[in-house]
Structure 1
């Protein structure tokens, strides 16, 4: 116990409350979908965290832009990645979120 404080810390009270954190309660319904190249740095890992990647020539913004790959999906037999990236806009940087073909995404 610290001077000026009586009782248990917030962490101790939370641990003894019996409430299970949301992340521990939610079990994934399906395993994460793998990208087109297993083991690629652009492919998502089991933790579900985003992965850095290069976005090559996205629509309306030619060039190469750093991005964050959030998830993969397969549509009509082709892989697409959901990415967030910034491009130069008329009033400064603009954040873009889009589904792009896997061919436009490269490991960073």
Structure 2
């Protein structure tokens, strides 16, 4: 510990983290206690068992289109966006859009499938 600071130094915390140092064997498993060992994760579903994705309608030229995004989840307001593609589902048309919203440290880039009613042509 360094004078004038409380707690462990970065080096001390790194040594206690269980992550091997550069000269150690990186292929060895991380040390785990019986209490920390997690049960094995379930295997992912076989893609052959999943339903086929809905058909996607794309512009022939492959370019995006400017739009206004109205009240996306978690970011009320109207935001400029780029409509990348459309798809039709059982509950109507949805657009895949990329847009920025105001975050605590500046702009945040978002991408989402939103209902057509939330999108307005620019």
**TM-score tier (shorter):** 0.5 to 0.7
5+ residue gaps, structure 2, are 1-55
1:48 matches 2:42: no
> How high is the TM-score relative to the length of structure 2?
0.52
> How high is the TM-score relative to the length of structure 1?
0.59
Counterpart of 1:103? Answer: 117
Q: Which protein, 1 or 2, shows the higher relative CO under an 8 Å CA cutoff with sep ≥ 6?
A: 1
| C-alpha distance in structure 2 between counterparts of 1:81 and 1:105, whole Å | 8
Q: Which structure is larger by alpha-carbon Rg, 1 or 2?
A: 2
Structure 1 runs of 4+ with >3 Å offset = none
Counterpart of 2:46? Answer: none
CA contact (8 A) 2:59 2:85 kept: no
In the alignment of these two chains, the number of paired residues is: 67
Picking from 79, 88, 97, the partner of 1:83 is: 97
**Deviation at residue 99 of structure 1 after TM alignment:** 0.2
Picking from 81, 84, 88, the partner of 1:67 is: 81
